Amino acid sequence: MKLPPALPSKAQLERLRATATYRTLNLCSLGAGVQSSTLLIMSALGLAPREIPRYDAVIFADTQFEPDAVYKHLEKLQEIAHAADIPFIRISAGNIRHDALKPSGHYATMPLHILGDQGGRGMLRRQCTDEYKVKPIRRSVRAVLGAPIEDGHVGKVPAGRYAMQHIGFSFDEERRVRDEPPGAYNELEYPLIRLRMTRQDCMDMLAQYGLENTPKSACIGCPFSGNSRWRAMRDTQPDDWAAAVEFDEQIRHGHPAAGVALKGRAFVHRSRVALAQADIDRVTAHEWRGRQGEISLARYEEEPPGCSPYGCRRTEIPPEAAVEAGA
């Protein structure tokens, strides 16, 4: 299998850099989940041209540890982009699973659930989203805007070049938006919120175009996964489930490249029990009913927000879980 490169291809760079010399680029940060897939469809079909222009490119940062269903979905999105002449940029900062387990060298901590030697509970800091998603996308945005590239390092964007970066947060996710001023060369834009489109609206639209089974994008062994994701994986994606169980066992003593012994044990399931034995069938129905409509702890446990590079975790995680999550 051909691995994704660290930066856009030469042909992609040439095309986008030429455009960036005379106008603002419209880029889409594609997570490949429901909302960002909707952005791509709407852009390709011109369904709301004022809010969602024809993108100059969509950018997907691949951790190389996504479920098989996400990679299959990506192929469909790639076809849609291709048919609309929207360059599809797929980049990667490396294989997160391999890096997390290798004995030395560069790695980024995953938000693993820790059970300390004395029984204390904690969580490792989440560096992975930044390293495998935020930074590669930022590098690509600078590169397509014409920043010089030397030995893989991307320099500063020339003055006067600018990009609007569209992010797929739906109207019901408004609280996830980080209040950030425009940057020197880019600005984040949330068109689905502007269009008041909810996640359900997005799913309805995807269904109209044959994408009703759009999967949730997240690493197979992501510790932010809730029971519903683990259950679905176990029951419908046995290969992914086997990979998650194996990863959970292999990460028990933390990231080997950390160089210092972990004072406790690390788990991908928030109960801090081996994934193979964790009670992933537990459904807190009474909590669901009692807290309908809120992002409650119960809902967070069942269906945590996806791994967005652009979400603010302080508002994504309910206060009860925030302390534990280190948010």
Q: Is 102 exposed, middle or buried (0-12, 13-18, 19+ CB in 10 A)?
A: middle
Minimum CB distance to ligand SF4, residue 212 (Å) = 23
The secondary structure of residue 267, as a DSSP letter, is: E
Which residue of 42, 114, 205, 307 would you call a contact of ligand SF4, by CB under 6 A?
307
Q: Please count the residues of this chain forming the interface with ligand SF4, following the rule CB under 6 A.
A: 13
Q: Taking the chain, what is the end-to-end CA distance rounded to the nearest angstrom?
A: 37
Give the CB-nearest residue to ligand SF4: 307
Helix H or strand E segment including 165 = strand 163-166
Asked whether position 129 contacts ligand SF4 by CB under 6 A, the answer is yes
- Segment lying near ligand SF4 (by CB under 6 A), choices 67-75, 122-130, 171-179, 241-249: 122-130
Shortest reach from residue 151's CB to ligand SF4, in Å? 25
Q: How far is the CB of 71 from ligand SF4 (least distance, A)?
A: 14
Q: Who contacts 252 (Cβ-Cβ below 8 Å, separation ≥6)? A: 265, 266, 267
Question: 146: left (phi > 0), else alpha (psi -120 to 50), else beta?
Answer: left
- Structure-block tokens of residue 248: 């959970």
- Identity of the residue, 51 or 248, whose beta carbon is nearer to ligand SF4 in the bound complex: 248
User: Among residues 31 and 318, whose Cβ is nearest to ligand SF4?
Assistant: 31
C-alpha 32/C-alpha 303 separation (Å) is: 17
3-class DSSP assignment, residue 59 = strand
Exactly one of 25, 137, 143, 222 binds ligand SF4 (CB under 6 A); that residue is: 222
Q: Residues 70, 218, 233, 298: which binds ligand SF4 (CB under 6 A)? A: 218
Binding site for ligand SF4 (CB under 6 A): 63, 96, 110-111, 126, 128-129, 132, 218-219, 222, 224, 307
